[in-house]
Amino acid sequence: MIQELLNSGLHWEKKEFKRNEFLKISGSTDTDIYFVENGSVRIFMMDENEERIIRFGYTGNIIVSLDSFLSGKPSCFYIQAIKKTSVRIASKRDFYEFIHSSEENLKFWNSILEDLVLQQLEREKDLLTSLPRERFERVLKRSPKLFQEIPNKYIANYLRMSPETLSRLKKS
């Protein structure tokens, strides 16, 4: 269905981001939706002086600053390229025009939203799981591709553990 979305006639602007370049910064409003053609990004916020990664996106994923996208208000999240990344970007206006153009497109958007809610619930369970090994195993089972696409230092942050702990868990 994502391929249909890309070929739907919806206006997609192609854009390249260098490693560490920001697609979105904290405090900004971002109502664009991104399709990652290749590369990877991380979505994070700052907690005091510490980064807290909440989500990753890599080749084939749709990424959005969902709070800002839905509300039209500024968000505390950053979206940053982890490596050279190419994305297709659609505006909310164009995207909503597309999803409201047919029942099928609306169902597709609902399925994306449902999937995001389920992912968020899994993420909350990860954060509530106290043992690092259990957090690691939950994420490995759910997203094995993550460990091929994303550097360990970012995965460790996401799992709320040190890179050394992650390295030990990966070896065992």
Residue 151 lies in a domain: no
Which has more confidence, 2 or 69? Answer: 69
Specify if 75 maps to a domain. Answer: yes
Written as six digits, the tokens of 2 are 């994502």
DSSP-assigned states of every residue in 56-119 = EEETT-EEE-HHHHHH-S--S-EEEESSSEEEEEEEHHHHHHHHTT-HHHHHHHHHHHHHHHHH
Asked if residue 12 lies in contact with residue 6, where contact means CB atoms within 8 angstroms, the answer is: yes
pLDDT at residue 126 above 80?
A: yes
Does the residue 13 lie in any domain? Answer: yes
Q: What is the CATH number of the domain that holds 28?
A: 2.60.120.10
Q: What integer pLDDT is reported at residue 11 of this predicted model?
A: 85
Confidence (pLDDT) at 129: 87
The token duo for 79 is: 């979206």
pLDDT above 80: residue 3:
no
Q: What is the mean pLDDT of the chain?
A: 93
Q: Please give the pLDDT value at position 15.
A: 97
Residue 80 is predicted with a pLDDT of 98
Q: What is the mean pLDDT of residues 31-39?
A: 95
Please report the pLDDT score of residue 127 as a whole number: 87
Stretch 108-114: mean pLDDT, rounded?
A: 88
Q: Is residue 155 part of a domain?
A: no
The answer to whether residue 42 is domain-embedded is yes
From CA 125, how far away is CA 61, in angstroms rounded? 22
Query: Could you tell me which of 100, 71, 101, 79 has the C-alpha nearest to residue 34?
Result: 79
Task: Please tell me the predicted confidence (pLDDT) of residue 1.
Answer: 64
Residue 45 belongs to domain spanning: 2-101
Cα 115 to Cα 49: distance, rounded to the nearest angstrom: 31
Say if 153 falls within a structural domain.
no
Residues 6 or more apart from 76 whose CB is under 8 A from it?
Answer: 26, 27, 45, 46
In a domain, 130, yes or no: no
What number is the average pLDDT over the span 41-60? 94
- Extract the runs of DSSP E, i.e. beta strands, from 109-165: none
Q: How many domains does the chain have?
A: 1
Please indicate, yes or no, if residue 152 is contained in any of the structural domains. no
